[in-house]
A and B are shown apart, each in its own frame.
Chain A
């Protein structure tokens, strides 16, 4: 198989790449990297991602890391296949890029901490989340989602009228959090709530995550 993804189903970044491939109905091989035994820090993985993180990616002789770069590569290279994830109109694509950056810089830092406290600590160590951290990050999530609520009141998807990579990029973290008490933060905002429901009901999301439990 030409396309290989080195990752883990516990890695939201891996899931970001798997969602792209699912949206575009592209075949690939998933090579599971065992986080628990620190496999991602071993030489054979550092050779693929010098920062020792997941995922790493291969398409023939092209080797990439950083899930958002991989997602962009898949979206552009396979532009004719499956869902269009980057708008062919450059002005519309520019708006999608804005919200891709918002995901990376405003959304991800906050939801990353919450997913760690409320999901990963349980999966990996059987531990509960730190209540103080969760409370603090919940407030930040509320502020960030206020901006999303305003944006999604103007347009159905973050980049405009069509679903794009800008929306998809949020799905892995959002899916984890909708299975936790943080569900209330998303549901308190009607346009955000509708956008989440729409996105997580997409066939690609169902395929990668399973049917939404909530």
Chain B
């Protein structure tokens, strides 16, 4: 198979790439990297991602890492296949690019610690999250989602009228947090809540994550 994804469950970056491939109905082979045994820090994976992280990606002789770069590659290279993830109109694509950056910096920073406290600690060590950290991080998430609520009051999707990579990029983290007490933060904002329901019920999300339980 030309396309290989080296990744794992509970890896937001891996899911970001799998969602792109699912939106575009592209075949690929998933090569599981065992985080628990530190496989991502072993030489054969460091050769693919020098920072020892997942996912890593291969399409024939192209080898990439960094899930957002991989997502851009898939969206552009397979522009004609399945869902169009980058708007053909460069001005609209520019707005999508803004919200791709907002996800990478503001949303990511407001959610990574919550993912660790409320999902990863349970999965990896059977531990509960630290309440003080969760409370502090929740406030940051609320502030960020206030901005999203304002944006989504103006347009159906972050980049404009159409679903794009800007929205997709958020789905893995949102999916995980909607299964935790942080659901209330997303549900508290009506436009954000509608947007979340819409993106998580997309066939590609259902295929990668399963039917939303909430």
Q: Which residues of A contact B (CB under 8 A)?
A: 50-51, 62, 64-66, 68-69, 72-73, 76-77, 90-91, 93-95, 97-98, 100-102, 104-106, 147, 150-151
Contacts and interface: CB of A to CB of B under 8 A. Distances in A.
A76 B90 contact: yes
Given A51-B102, A101-B66, 13 more contacts: A50-B151, A66-B101, A69-B98, A69-B100, A69-B101, A76-B90, A77-B90, A90-B76, A95-B64, A98-B64, A105-B66, A105-B104, A147-B51
Interface of B: 50-51, 62, 64-66, 68-69, 72-73, 76-77, 90-91, 93-95, 97-98, 100-102, 104-106, 147, 150-151
A64 B62 contact: no
Contacts, number: 71
A97 B94 contact: no
A102 B104 CA distance: 12
Interface centre among B73, B91, B98, B150 (most CB of A within 10 A): B98
A140 to B, nearest CB: 12
Contact of B101 (A68, A93, A106, A150): A68
B72 A97 contact: yes
A90 B69 CA distance: 12
Nearest to B69: A97
19 contacts: A51-B102, A51-B106, A64-B98, A68-B101, A69-B97, A69-B101, A72-B94, A73-B90, A73-B94, A73-B97, A90-B73, A93-B76, A94-B69, A94-B72, A94-B73, A97-B69, A98-B66, A101-B104, A151-B50
Nearest to A93: B76
A85 to B, nearest CB: 14
Contacts of B76: 90, 93
Given A66-B105, A68-B101, A69-B98, A50 B66 contact: no
Interface centre among A65, A98, A102 (most CB of B within 10 A): A98
Contacts of A93: 76
Contacts of A62: 91, 94
Contacts of A147: 50-51
B50 A104 contact: no
Interface centre among B66, B93, B94 (most CB of A within 10 A): B94
Contacts of B151: 50
A90 B77 contact: yes
Contacts of A97: 64, 66, 68-69, 72-73
A65 B98 contact: yes
A73 B90 CA distance: 8
Contacts of A65: 98
Given A62-B91, A64-B94, A94 B62 contact: yes
Contact of A98 (B65, B90, B93, B102): B65
Contacts of A105: 66, 104
A68 B100 CA distance: 10
B63 to A, nearest CB: 9
